[in-house]
């Protein structure tokens, strides 16, 4: 029964995608504006549903980080609405002629940007993803099938109902945005095999979810990986600046994938920078876990295990390691990085340049917080996810990453001899 239900949703999404693919930018923007207006009009309805999810989450013992991801407030709803308006204001990539060349026989051969088609998104306790994904997919002419986590089930039902209503208002197919209306885990496994209807799957969540999707899907997958993000304080760092950057990268919002999880510090500056930094981190509620050299400077720090170096905490926990050299820092990052976001804090121009070239990650920073790895911060309006793979898309995925291209060929009677 569930399989038939999802297949029916897939069929409707495919039909809607064909209509969306030929919509004008004006029509798509009108729908996005209507979505934004309706979210604000019905914010109390959203908050009431979210309170049900929050209560259930607390009873289930969700971590503070997950509860923070789940929570919607008036300010967060306003941010979601603003995100839709910003997406509407962005240039529409669909229809763009990427290049056009004329062959010796007179044929004009070009590439034109087109929608992917039907996008399936599987995600956990992030109701803002529901709105961001719907907006980005609509702008790029894609239909979307959303499978949110059970933690946000009530919230997502209300959000998608509001988005569907906005589509109806402007005369577009409401099946362009659909929610999988079940919390059964079987729904995920069914979606993984819906290659007849889904053109791509994008999983957003913990390492277990992403691994399950990648290993079992017959639908093409864009992998949004976990964020075991590193920061390295070099011997040539501005230490006052380093403290501010690390505090922001770890504490500004610890439950997200671009938060700092491991700090590497050069031995020359560790005795100077670690005590004031540790004090500020601990005042912010951060638990530190350190190597023996770190513990020698900070005796109150818990010992770090091998597992700590490879853990994405998504919590107020930070692993700290003192390294003997820049090269050791690079080797540590190469060994444990998940390819998300990595940063160096240094005033040494040559090391900064070398770090940018040598470190293989979706986003590599010099003297700035990893918290900027975000579609909105990069000027994309919003993001569908942060890809840690290398094919098709990498890093924050905005409008262009939700398109592909087709060849268009213009002739005047040519035949092949």
3-state secondary structure the chain: CHHHHHHHHHHHHHHHHHHHCCCCHHHHHHHHHHHHHHHHHCHHHHHHHHHHHHHHHHHHCCCHHHHHHHCCCHHHHHHHHHHHHHHHHCCCCCCCEEEEEECCCCCEEEEEEEECCEEEEEECCCHHHHHHHHHHHHHCCCEEEEECCHHHHHHHHHHHHHHHHHHHHCCCCHHHEEECCCCCCHHHHHHHCCCCCCCEEEEECCHHHHHHHHHHCCCCECCCCCCCEEEEECCCCCHHHHHHHHHHHHHCCCCCCCCEEEEEEECCCHHHHHHHHHHHHHHCCCEEEECHHHHHHCCCCEECCHHHHCCCCCCCEEEEEEECCHHHHHHHHHHHCCCCEEEEECCCHHHHHHHHHHCCCCEEEECCCHHHCCCCCCCCCCCCCEECCCCCCCEECCCHHHEEEEEEEECCCCCCC
User: 213 and 316: one domain?
Assistant: no
Whether residues 33 and 181 fall in one domain: yes
Domain range for residue 142?
A: 2-224+397-410
220 and 182 together in one domain: yes
CB atoms within 10 A of CB 58: 11
Indicate if the pLDDT at residue 384 is higher than 90: no
Question: Would 345 be classed as within a structural domain?
Answer: yes
Residues 6 or more apart whose CB falls under 8 angstroms from that of 42 comprise 158, 162
Residues 146 and 55 reside in one and the same domain: yes
Within this chain, do residues 188 and 262 fall inside the same structural domain, yes or no? no
Are 219 and 244 found together in one domain? no
Record the tokens describing residue 367, joined without a space: 């003297």
In a domain, 125, yes or no: yes
Do 161 and 300 have their domain in common? Answer: no
Kindly state whether residues 236 and 172 are assigned to the same domain: no
User: Residue 382: which pLDDT band, with cuts at 50, 70 and 90?
Assistant: confident
The more confidently predicted of residues 196 and 376 is: 196
Is 234 in contact with 270 (CB distance < 8 Å)? no
Q: Find tokens 């398109």 and name the residue.
A: 403
Is 137 within a domain? Answer: yes
Q: How far is Cα 379 from Cα 399, in angstroms, rounded to an integer?
A: 11
Give the Cα separation of 324 and 327 in Å (integer).
Answer: 8
**Residue 170 maps to a domain:** yes
Domain with residue 351: its CATH number is 3.40.309.10
Is residue 389 situated within a structural domain? Answer: no
24 with 91, same domain: the answer is yes
Statement to judge: residues 201 and 298 lie in one domain: no
pLDDT score, position 256: 86
Are 238 and 195 found together in one domain? no
User: For residue range 70-98, what is the model confidence (pLDDT) as tens digits?
Assistant: 999 999 999 999 999 999 999 999 999 99
Q: What domain count does the chain have?
A: 2
Percent of the chain with pLDDT over 90: 87
- Please indicate, yes or no, whether residues 239 and 364 belong to a single structural domain of this protein: yes
What band does 359 get if pLDDT is binned at 50, 70 and 90? very high
Domain-embedded: residue 76: yes
Residue 256: inside a domain: yes
pLDDT tens digits, 283-339 = 999 999 999 999 999 999 999 999 999 999 989 999 999 999 999 999 999 999 999
> Mean pLDDT for the chain?
95
225 pLDDT higher than 80? no
> What CATH code is carried by the domain that includes residue 16?
3.40.605.10
Specify if 415 maps to a domain. Answer: no
């Amino acid at each position: 029964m569930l399989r038939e239900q999802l297949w029916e949703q897939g069929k409707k999404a495919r039909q809607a995608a064909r209509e969306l693919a030929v919509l004008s930018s004006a029509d798509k923007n009108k729908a996005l504006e209507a979505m934004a207006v309706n979210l604000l009009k019905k914010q109390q309805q959203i908050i009431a549903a979210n309170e049900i999810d929050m209560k259930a989450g607390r009873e289930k013992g969700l971590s503070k980080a997950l509860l923070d991801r789940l929570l919607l407030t008036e300010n967060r709803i306003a941010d979601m609405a603003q995100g839709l308006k910003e997406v509407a204001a962005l240039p529409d990539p669909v229809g763009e002629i990427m290049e056009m060349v004329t062959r010796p026989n007179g044929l004009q051969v070009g590439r034109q940007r087109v929608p992917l088609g039907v996008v399936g998104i599987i995600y956990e306790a992030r109701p803002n993803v529901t709105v961001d994904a719907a907006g980005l997919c609509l702008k790029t002419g894609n239909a979307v099938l959303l499978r949110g986590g059970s933690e946000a089930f009530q919230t997502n039902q209300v959000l998608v109902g509001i988005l569907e209503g906005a589509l109806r208002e402007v005369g577009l197919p409401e099946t362009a945005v659909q929610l999988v209306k079940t919390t059964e885990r079987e729904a995920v496994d069914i979606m993984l095999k819906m290659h007849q209807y889904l053109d791509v799957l994008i999983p957003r969540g913990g390492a277990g979810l992403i691994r399950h999707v990648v290993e079992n899907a017959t639908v093409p997958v864009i992998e949004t990986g976990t964020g075991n993000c590193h920061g390295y304080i070099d011997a040539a760092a501005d230490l006052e600046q380093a403290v501010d950057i690390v505090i922001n990268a770890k504490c500004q919002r610890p439950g997200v994938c671009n938060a700092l999880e491991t700090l590497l510090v050069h031995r020359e500056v560790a005795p100077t920078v670690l005590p004031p930094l540790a004090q500020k981190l601990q005042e912010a509620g951060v638990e530190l876990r350190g190597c023996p050299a770190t513990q020698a400077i900070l005796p109150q720090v818990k010992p770090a295990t091998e597992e700590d170096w490879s853990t994405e905490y998504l919590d107020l926990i930070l692993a700290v390691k003192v390294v003997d050299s820049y090269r050791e820092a690079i080797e540590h990052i190469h060994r444990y990085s998940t390819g998300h976001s990595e940063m160096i804090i240094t005033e040494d121009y040559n090391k900064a340049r070398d770090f940018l070239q040598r470190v293989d990650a979706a986003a590599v920073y010099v003297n700035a917080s990893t918290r900027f790895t975000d579609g909105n911060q990069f000027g994309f309006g919003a993001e569908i996810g942060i890809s840690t793979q290398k094919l098709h898309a990498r890093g924050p995925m905005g409008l262009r990453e939700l398109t592909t291209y087709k060849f268009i060929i213009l002739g005047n009677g040519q035949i092949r001899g």
